[in-house]
Structure formats: C-alpha cells, structure tokens
Chain A
Amino acid sequence: MANFFYDLKLYASILRLAIHTRMQYRSDFFIGLFGVIFSNLANLILIWIILEKFNALAAWSLYEVVLLYAIWLMSQGINALFFWNMLGLENYIVDGSFDQYLIRPMNPFLQFIAREVNFMGFGDILLGVSIFIISYNRLHLSWSATQFLWLFIIVLSGTAILASIYIIFSSVSFWTGRSKSLLRIGLRFQQFGQRYPLDIFGQWYKVFVSFFFPIAFVNYYPLAGLLSKPNAVNMPILAYLSPFVAIILVLLAIIVWHFGINSYGSTGS
C-alpha cells in the first residue's frame, strides 16, 4: 500500500512532465480544442433538429436531452484527459514496447497511463459544463447543494465506468495482440447510445446497456432520478446505483489488467 501511494506521487511527477511537454505545442492544442468543440456542437445540432420535429423524445424535452449529453460529456472529458493512452495499448503490446513498464519499480498501469495527457478532454469538459448551465437555466431547475454533490459523484462514477470499459476492452490485446476493432465498436456504440434517453430504444437494448455494458449508469439513470422521471425499466433504485456499478467495473478492470499482464507474451524475438 505504501508503494501505491508513492506510485501516485510518481504518477503526478510524470504527469507534470507530460503537461510541460504538451505546452510546447500550443497551436496544436488550440486547433484540437476547436475540433472537439465543433464536432460536439454538430451532435447537439442533430439532437436539436430531431427534437424540433418531435417536440419530445419519450417525454424528454430538448433541454433534458441536452442535459443528458452534458453529463456524458463531462465524464467522457475527464476520461479522455487521463486514460487516453489506454486506446493505444495494442500498439505497445504488438511491438513489445510495453516491456519498458515492467522493468521499473513502479506500478505498470500508472506508468502507462501517465504517458499521455489528452488535452482534448478539456474541450469536452468545457462544452459539457457550458451546455449544462444553459439547460439548467432553461429548465428552471433549482437543485440543492446535496443534489450538486450527487451530480459530482455521478460524473466521477461515469468517468470510472467509461475508463473501466476502455481498460477491459484494451486488455484483450494482452491475449490476442489485437483489440482495436473491438474497442472501436464499443466506443461507437457508447457514443451513439448516450445521446438519447433510453426510453426510445427497444427492450433488448435497455437490458444490454443496463446490465451487460452498463453505460446507462453514466448519465441516463442518475439523471432520470435527478429530474424525477420514471426510468425506462421502471426501477427507481437504478438512479442511485452509478457509484456501485463504477466500483464493480473498476474491480473487474483491475482483475482483467492484472491477468493480462501475467499473460503478456512480449514479442518473440
């Protein structure tokens, strides 16, 4: 345990260096930021067009759907900021450069994710917070301090859920050498699904994203709770379960990662 805390300190040191390095490419940073915000705005316009046509999606109004998007965007932003390197794990495994993380006295996972800070995550967070504030005002909501604290916990749980999914999917390459296509399908699925209230989907999909690929706990269930809406499966308890789902997934991710490293084959030569 003492080791782990020391490793967290080291993680902070490496992160500091990574940020410092990144700052050398300032124009790259701003262009990227612009790109992220622009592509998210395009998604939001799509939502707006759809709701313009239908007025509401299964009893979710425009700004409620935007709120759904905002919460997902904040979790996604934090995840992108800190866990982005996970998406590239396959490359490190295929060419054997993952070796370097196993020959230093520091937790390999922390070494690996400290390698890159994806500043584009800031774009997600910035936009997420902005559209959250707009929707919050348009909906004339007035949440208590406790509800805001709960929102904070939800966003962190969402981050943990998304990060765990990244880790579990990427770790597949410890065994197969390849995981990108799987990861890509997962990401597409997740990004598509989380823009809309679960109510509009079919039964199989509801079950799938609630119990097997539990991304509905990132934004849908907790927000339905916060807005006092009935959720798609009529189980009010699900509105409070995001932190528990997060904990279970994190444990699962730790186990998968651990077994993955043990069966890491390096490259033959």
Chain B
Amino acid sequence: MEAQVVKVPIIQVKNLTKVFKTAVRKTGRFSALHSLINPEYIEKTAVDSISFNIRKGEIVGYIGPNGAGKSTSIKMLTGILKPSSGKVEIAGLIPYKNRRKHVQHIGVVLGQKTQLWWDIPLIESLMLLKEIYKVDDKTYKENMMVFEELLSISDFQDKPVRQLSLGQRMRGDLAASLLHSPDILFLDEPTIGVDVVTKEKFRVFIRKLNQEQKTTILLTTHDMADIERICERIIIIDEGKILHDMPLVEMKKIIKGYDVLEFEINNEKFNATALNSVFGNKLQLNNLGHRRFKIDFDSAELATSDLISYLAQNYQLKNIAIKEPEIETLVRDIFEKSENN
C-alpha cells in the first residue's frame, strides 16, 4: 500500500445523542406545588445517534424539516449543550469540556437571534469582540476591509444593533462571528427573513471565505438556493437521525424536479399527453383537481419561461405561480425515492 498522509477530519461526530427531559406541567388545583414536589418527566430524543466526519475546508449543508434536530446538533458541536451520549471532537477538542479553547476557533451565527449587544453601535460591538478574542490590530484591519468590501458594513456600523434591518443585522452578526478568523463557521438559519439582495451577498461572501481562507462551514438553512449555491455536500436529518449524507451533485441526481409550477385553467380539459409529448420526461404533472395542476421540474433542465409560454399559448390561464421548493417536501421525496431503490 502506498504511504499516505492521513488527515484527521476537523469535525468528528460519533453516535452523538441528545435526550431532553422536560417536566410535564400538571393541571388542576395546586398544580405548581404538585409539579415541584413530584415532578413527572417525558423524554424526547432530539438527536439520535448521529455520526459523520467533516474535513477541513468542506462546506456542508445540514438540512431537514423543523424539529429534526439540526439546531440541537449544532448546539452540541459549538459546546452550548452537553451531549447525552456519544462523541464529538472538533480540532482535537471536546466542545463542552474545553469550551473556552474551543470557541476561540469557531464562529457561530444563530439566525433567530443576534449575538451583538443590542443597545450598542455595531462598530463598538466589533471592537469589544476584538478584545474578547484577542485579535491583533493587523488581523482586525484586514478582516474589517473584507467585511467592508463584501458586506458593506460601514453603511450601518454606527447604528445601535436594535435599529438595524434584519439583513443588516445578519451582516453584522456574520462579521462578528468572523472577526477572529475562525477555522470553523457554524451557521444556523442565517438567511431567515433576509431580503434577496442580502442573501446573494451572503452567498458570495461565504464561498469566497471558504476558497480563500479554507474555512470549514456547516450551514443549516431552509433556502434551497443557499444549498445549491454554497454547499458541496449535504447531510439530511429527520427525527434526530441522519437519512442521507452525500455530495450535492448526487442529491441533484436523486431529486430532479424541485422547481414547482402551479396553475389553474379555464378550459374544460387539460391535455396531459400533449404536454408530455412536448417536454418528455423533463417534468411531472399532478392533477390537484378543480382544474388546478402542479408541475414538478428542474429549471436547469427545462427553462421555466418555455414551460410558461407553452401553457399560455395552449390554455386560458386563470392563475399561475412559481413555488419555492420546500425542504420538507424535498426530504420526504428523497426518503421515498431511496426507499424504492
């Protein structure tokens, strides 16, 4: 066998499990006292024995429906939560045990809430973080230049964080999480509620960061476009278990049409055979009843405009809408399709 330099993955997760114990609230008279003296608990397994490795420089999309266990996993990886069992090792450290050392090398953006000081201007927050992470002046200046170039933070850096728009706040949070040039970046729903232009800025920024600084990135999102544009590898989780772990190209093979077109016609009849003869197997037609139809297709294979103009030419359209694909549907589809294989 050839001698090889075996690189240890930067993130190693083995049989990681988190069980939450929640107290059941009792009802009736003296319920609070009753719960205090004789509490009853129910156990919920949020993350159920997951295992994966991530190499340095990978960008991984961590996706799944709401409540699948994504955030809980991320919180264990960042050291916020202590696992119930199993192992997580990141750059040789066990996050919750070596919390202080660990967080020095990671950046975290939790999209639902900001980690910046609410009343304080963004720039002051960043200066405080510089002190907390012991970032030297040179690195600080260089990073601030990058943030300026790609996130235009000087537009709003003097405003208190509470006055920022959602998109500005996300850019601020992103800058704050990267000020100390972390090796690993955890992004939990960073684009939630953010406008399209900012989303695009974010994607460009993340790709560039990964290419130039070899930052390892783990991203959870509900936005399919985030995944398509940023990720190389997808881990799909549902009900606390990993369903799939594969390269993005692989996923695209399994899931062909995740663009959705819904329309309603005035005509008496819809000619499905005619449609299929024109577009062949590039789409899948579903009759929703009451002259409403749904077409699943892949816009990379079949231009949306072609489809629309065909429909417009042949039918009287009462209604037409292009729908964003939903992660929930996607996960279900992947699950069903891999079951059938």
What residues make up the interface of A, taking CB atoms closer than 8 Å to B?
A: 3, 10, 13-14, 17, 21, 95-97, 99-100, 102-106, 115, 176, 181, 262-266, 268-269
Most central of B22, B44, B103, B132 by chain A CB within 10 Å: B132
**Of residues 114 to 151 in B, which have CB atoms within 8 Å of A's CB atoms?**
115, 117, 119-120, 124, 128-129, 131-133
B72 CB-CB contact with A under 8 Å: yes
Q: Which are the 6 A-B pairs with shortest beta-carbon distances?
A: A100-B115, A21-B119, A105-B104, A102-B80, A103-B108, A105-B100
B20 CB-CB contact with A under 8 Å: yes
Q: Choose among A96, A106, A265 the residue that contacts B132 (Cβ–Cβ < 8 A).
A: A106
Residues on B with beta carbons closer than 8 Å to the beta carbon of A269: 66-67, 71
| Known contacts A21-B160, A102-B103, A264-B80; 8 further A-B pairs (Cβ under 8 A) | A14-B128, A17-B128, A95-B113, A100-B113, A103-B106, A105-B104, A105-B132, A269-B71
- In the complex, the chain A residue whose C-beta lies closest to that of B112 is A96
Is the CB–CB distance between A268 and B120 below 8 Å?
no
- In the complex, the chain A residue whose C-beta lies closest to that of B78 is A103
- Min CB gap A116→B, angstroms: 10
Residues on B with beta carbons closer than 8 Å to the beta carbon of A97: 113
- In the complex, the chain B residue whose C-beta lies closest to that of A265 is B20
- In the complex, the chain B residue whose C-beta lies closest to that of A263 is B82
For the complex, give the distance between the alpha carbons of A193 and B216 in Å.
Answer: 57
B94 CB-CB contact with A under 8 Å: no
> Given the known A-B contacts A103-B108, A105-B100, A269-B66, are A262 and B128 also in contact in the complex, defined by CB atoms under 8 Å?
no
B312 CB-CB contact with A under 8 Å: no
Residues on A with beta carbons closer than 8 Å to the beta carbon of B66: 269
- Min CB gap B261→A, angstroms: 32
Is the CB–CB distance between A13 and B131 below 8 Å?
yes
Is the CB–CB distance between A268 and B20 below 8 Å?
yes
Residues on B with beta carbons closer than 8 Å to the beta carbon of A264: 80-81
- In the complex, the chain A residue whose C-beta lies closest to that of B107 is A103
- Min CB gap B224→A, angstroms: 21
Is the CB–CB distance between B103 and A266 below 8 Å?
no
For the complex, give the distance between the alpha carbons of A176 and B207 in Å.
Answer: 42
**Of residues 288 to 314 in B, which have CB atoms within 8 Å of A's CB atoms?**
none
What residues make up the interface of B, taking CB atoms closer than 8 Å to A?
A: 20, 22-23, 32, 44, 46, 66-67, 71-72, 75, 78-82, 99-101, 103-104, 106, 108, 110, 113, 115, 117, 119-120, 124, 128-129, 131-133, 160
Residues on A with beta carbons closer than 8 Å to the beta carbon of B129: 104
- In the complex, the chain A residue whose C-beta lies closest to that of B125 is A17
Residues on A with beta carbons closer than 8 Å to the beta carbon of B79: 102-103
Residues on B with beta carbons closer than 8 Å to the beta carbon of A17: 117, 120, 124, 128
For the complex, give the distance between the alpha carbons of A181 and B72 in Å.
Answer: 29
Q: Choose among A21, A104, A105, A266 the residue that contacts B81 (Cβ–Cβ < 8 A).
A: A266
Residues on B with beta carbons closer than 8 Å to the beta carbon of A103: 78-80, 103, 106, 108, 115
For the complex, give the distance between the alpha carbons of A17 and B120 in Å.
Answer: 8
- In the complex, the chain A residue whose C-beta lies closest to that of B124 is A17
> Given the known A-B contacts A21-B120, A176-B23, A268-B44, are A10 and B131 also in contact in the complex, defined by CB atoms under 8 Å?
yes
For the complex, give the distance between the alpha carbons of A253 and B308 in Å.
Answer: 67
For the complex, give the distance between the alpha carbons of A147 and B79 in Å.
Answer: 49
For the complex, give the distance between the alpha carbons of A102 and B100 in Å.
Answer: 8
Q: Choose among B20, B124, B132 the residue that contacts A104 (Cβ–Cβ < 8 A).
A: B132
Residues on B with beta carbons closer than 8 Å to the beta carbon of A21: 119-120, 160
- Min CB gap A169→B, angstroms: 14
Is the CB–CB distance between B80 and A262 below 8 Å?
no
- Min CB gap B218→A, angstroms: 14
Most central of A99, A103, A264, A266 by chain B CB within 10 Å: A103
Is the CB–CB distance between B131 and A99 below 8 Å?
no
For the complex, give the distance between the alpha carbons of A21 and B125 in Å.
Answer: 12
For the complex, give the distance between the alpha carbons of A99 and B96 in Å.
Answer: 12
For the complex, give the distance between the alpha carbons of A97 and B80 in Å.
Answer: 11
- In the complex, the chain A residue whose C-beta lies closest to that of B105 is A105
- Min CB gap B101→A, angstroms: 8
For the complex, give the distance between the alpha carbons of A264 and B20 in Å.
Answer: 11
Residues on A with beta carbons closer than 8 Å to the beta carbon of B108: 103
Is the CB–CB distance between B110 and A262 below 8 Å?
no
List 17 A-B pairs, Cβ < 8 Å. Answer: A10-B131, A13-B131, A21-B119, A96-B113, A99-B80, A99-B110, A100-B115, A103-B80, A104-B129, A104-B133, A105-B104, A181-B32, A264-B80, A266-B75, A268-B20, A268-B72, A269-B67
For the complex, give the distance between the alpha carbons of A97 and B99 in Å.
Answer: 17
Is the CB–CB distance between B100 and A3 below 8 Å?
yes
For the complex, give the distance between the alpha carbons of A204 and B208 in Å.
Answer: 69
For the complex, give the distance between the alpha carbons of A266 and B108 in Å.
Answer: 15
Most central of B75, B82, B104, B131 by chain A CB within 10 Å: B75
- Min CB gap B16→A, angstroms: 15
- Min CB gap B323→A, angstroms: 25
For the complex, give the distance between the alpha carbons of A21 and B159 in Å.
Answer: 12
- Min CB gap B196→A, angstroms: 25
Residues on B with beta carbons closer than 8 Å to the beta carbon of A266: 72, 75, 80-81
For the complex, give the distance between the alpha carbons of A104 and B105 in Å.
Answer: 10
For the complex, give the distance between the alpha carbons of A262 and B83 in Å.
Answer: 11
For the complex, give the distance between the alpha carbons of A17 and B104 in Å.
Answer: 23
For the complex, give the distance between the alpha carbons of A268 and B68 in Å.
Answer: 10
Residues on B with beta carbons closer than 8 Å to the beta carbon of A115: 117
- In the complex, the chain B residue whose C-beta lies closest to that of A182 is B36
